[in-house]
Amino acid sequence: STSSASGEAHLVIGGSGFLGSRIALALRQRGEKYVSVFDLHAARQPIEKVEYYTGDITSESSLRETLIQVRDKAGLEAGGSKGVVIYHTASPVAGLGPEIYHKVNVVGTQTVIAVANKPELAVTKLVFTSSAGVVYDGHDLINVDERLPYPKKPLDAYNDTKAKAEHLVLQANSKQAGKLKTVALRPAGIFGVGDRQALPGFFNVLRTGKTKVQIGDNENLFDWTYVDNVVHAHLLAADKLDAAPYPADKLGDIMISTRVLA
Ligand code: NAD
What is the 93 CA–ligand 1 centroid distance (Å)? 7
Nearest to 100 by CA among 161, 54, 154: 161
Instruction: Flag whether 18 is in a domain.
Output: yes
Instruction: Flag whether 234 is in a domain.
Output: yes
pLDDT-based confidence at 262, cuts 50/70/90?
Answer: very low
Q: What is the pLDDT of residue 214?
A: 83
229 by Cβ neighbours in 10 Å (0-12 / 13-18 / 19+) ranks as exposed
Distance set, CA 101 to CA 96, 156, 196 (Å) = 8, 10, 19
Q: Which domain holds residue 69?
A: 9-195+224-261
What is the 261 CA–ligand 1 centroid distance (Å)? 26
According to the per-residue pLDDT averaged within each range, which of 54-58, 90-94, 213-217 is highest? 54-58
Q: What is the pLDDT of residue 257?
A: 52
> pLDDT exceeding 70 applies to what percent of the chain?
95
Question: Which one has a higher pLDDT value, 178 or 172?
Answer: 172
| pLDDT digit string, tens, across residues 181-210 | 999 999 999 999 999 988 999 899 999 998
Total domains in the chain come to 1
Atom in ligand 1 nearest the alpha carbon of residue 187? 43
Nearest to 84 by CA among 15, 130, 23, 34: 34
Q: What is the pLDDT of residue 158?
A: 96
| pLDDT digit string, tens, across residues 10-20 | 999 999 999 99
Q: What is the pLDDT of residue 261?
A: 44
Atom in ligand 1 nearest the alpha carbon of residue 190? 40
Q: What is the pLDDT of residue 2?
A: 65
Instruction: Flag whether 102 is in a domain.
Output: yes
Q: What is the CATH number of the domain that holds 171?
A: 3.40.50.720
Longest CA–CA span in the chain (Å) reads 61
Instruction: Flag whether 110 is in a domain.
Output: yes
- Pocket residue to mutate for ligand 1, from 11, 19, 47, 127, most atoms within 8 A of Cβ: 19
| pLDDT digit string, tens, across residues 33-54 | 999 999 999 999 999 999 999 9
Q: Compute the mean pLDDT over every residue in the chain, rounded to the nearest whole number.
A: 92
Q: What is the pLDDT of residue 256?
A: 56
Instruction: Flag whether 210 is in a domain.
Output: no
Distance CA 194, CA 52 (A): 18
Instruction: Flag whether 204 is in a domain.
Output: no
Atom in ligand 1 nearest the alpha carbon of residue 56? 19
Q: What is the pLDDT of residue 248?
A: 76
Give yes or no for residue 8 having a pLDDT over 80. Answer: yes
Across the range 1-8, mean pLDDT stands at 79
Distance CA 201, CA 37 (A): 27
186 by Cβ neighbours in 10 Å (0-12 / 13-18 / 19+) ranks as middle
Nearest-CA residue for ligand 1 atom 18 is: 56
Residues whose beta carbon lies within 6 Å of some atom of ligand 1: 14, 16-20, 39-41, 56-58, 89-93, 104, 108, 129, 131, 162, 187, 189-190, 197
What is the 90 CA–ligand 1 centroid distance (Å)? 4
Distance CA 210, CA 203 (A): 10
Across the range 92-107, mean pLDDT stands at 95
Q: What is the pLDDT of residue 47?
A: 98
What is the 248 CA–ligand 1 centroid distance (Å)? 33
Give yes or no for residue 27 having a pLDDT over 70. Answer: yes
- In the chain, count of helices (H) and strands (E)? 8, 8
What is the 57 CA–ligand 1 centroid distance (Å)? 12
Instruction: Flag whether 44 is in a domain.
Output: yes
Active site residues: 162
Across the range 136-142, mean pLDDT stands at 91
Instruction: Flag whether 153 is in a domain.
Output: yes
Q: What is the pLDDT of residue 254?
A: 61
